[in-house]
Amino acid sequence: MSHTKDHKNVYVLNQTNQLKGLFTIIRDRTKPRSEFIFYANRIIRLIVEEGLNHLPVSPAQVTTAQNVKFDGVVFDGRICGASIMRAGESMEQGLRDCCRSVRIGKILIQRDEESQEPVLHYKKLPDDIADRYVLLLDPMLATGGSAMCAMDILISMGCKQEQIIFLNVIASPEGLHNVHKRFPNIRIVTAVIDEGLDNKGYITPGLGDFGDIYFGTKV
């Protein structure tokens, strides 16, 4: 896990051979959807585990089966997830695998065809979200428009920037810059930072539409 030079609150997974191998599979457009899902889930699990590392802890002591004291830690505070529909829903199971019975809210944001601006269409979030650490889920950070719209919603409900941890699979430098120009204290955990955006605003080299591939709606 490493910081980027440009953003103190961006955390990138260590670029191990295992992670590079997983990305080689999910970026390969010739691979079947079943392989994409399986290996994308492995990457998502790594991202969620790293996101949980950023939650505060307090010291705790327990007694082992050997009747020996062990000095460990317990997590402080409660958490919840918030997925940006629809692609963000692909990350929900990875969160549930790590946090049993975790509450997960939904935010649906779509781009207005005329203004090209993100517009909120639906949200359903825990009433006490302001009292929780929020793991915001969306696999692709391109321009950052949808992510910032979701962050605005969370902040309008009383969340502080420091309570929000944005988890994503692939980020663009432009998206990271845009998000942190507006929300410098929101932590972003990503598996990889790609080269940039093409002239259509898609991440390159990227992998296409994550949600369409994952959920089988790619035509």
Residue 152 confidence (pLDDT): 96
Residue 27 preceded by cis peptide, ω within 30? no
Six-digit token string for 212: 């369409």
Q: Is the pLDDT of residue 7 over 80?
A: no
- Which is nearest to 170 in space by CA: 55, 8, 15? 15
* Calpha distance 190→175 (Å, rounded): 12
Q: Is the pLDDT of residue 154 over 60?
A: yes
Phi/psi region, residue 126 (left: phi>0; alpha: psi -120 to 50; beta: rest), is beta
**Tell me: the pLDDT tens digits for 95-152?**
999 998 899 999 999 877 677 678 899 999 999 999 999 999 999 999 999 999 999 9
* Calpha distance 197→175 (Å, rounded): 9
Please give the CATH number for the structural domain made up of 2-57+72-215. Answer: 3.40.50.2020
Count the alpha carbons within 13 Å of 70 in the hemisphere toward its beta carbon: 9
**Tell me: the pLDDT tens digits for 58-102?**
999 999 999 999 999 999 989 999 999 989 999 999 999 999 889
Residue 75 confidence (pLDDT): 92
Sign for the CA dihedral angle at 125, 131, 132, 137 comes to positive
Instruction: Using only the alpha carbons of the chain, give its radius of gyration.
Output: 18
* Calpha distance 185→188 (Å, rounded): 9
Residue 219 confidence (pLDDT): 57
**Tell me: the pLDDT tens digits for 31-57?**
999 999 999 999 999 999 999 999 999
Verdict on whether the full-model pTM lies above 0.95:
no
Share of the chain above pLDDT 70, in %: 95
Six-digit token string for 118: 């993100």
Q: Is the pLDDT of residue 155 over 90?
A: yes
Residue linked to tokens 């994503």 = 168
